[in-house]
């Protein structure tokens, strides 16, 4: 039951939060591409959330942002 709930949560996130359900894209290849990008973003969001909870993520350090002169 927990696996089903998790899968439905991910599907909801891809369809609604990333706008796949209401997109104006047509064609299997294009929809597949945008769904793959959305799935990649779901995994990236989970990784960032995990690293922040472990206090190992600092946006400035990851992207080497330097203060403006």
| pLDDT tens column, 7-17 | 887 777 777 77
The whole-model pTM stands at 0.57
Q: Is residue 67 part of a domain?
A: no
Give the pLDDT band of residue 62 (cuts 50, 70, 90): low
How many domains are there within the chain?
Answer: 1
Q: Is residue 50 part of a domain?
A: yes
Own/partner contacts of 6-11, CB < 8 Å, gap of 24 or more, are 10/39, 10/42
Supply angle C-alpha 50, 56, 61, rounded to 5.
120
Domain span at 56: 2-62
pLDDT at 57 over 70: yes
Q: Is residue 69 part of a domain?
A: no
Q: Which helix (H) or strand (E) holds 5?
A: helix 2-12
Q: Is residue 34 part of a domain?
A: yes
Q: Is residue 11 part of a domain?
A: yes
Whole-number percent of the chain with pLDDT over 70: 83
Q: Is residue 9 part of a domain?
A: yes
């Amino acid at each position: 039951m927990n696996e089903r709930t998790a899968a439905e949560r991910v599907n909801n996130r891809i369809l609604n939060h990333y706008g796949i359900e209401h997109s104006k894209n047509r064609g299997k290849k294009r929809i597949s591409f945008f769904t793959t990008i959305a799935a990649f973003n779901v995994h990236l969001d989970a990784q960032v959330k995990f690293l922040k909870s472990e206090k190992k993520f600092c946006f400035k350090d990851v992207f080497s942002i330097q203060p403006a002169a």
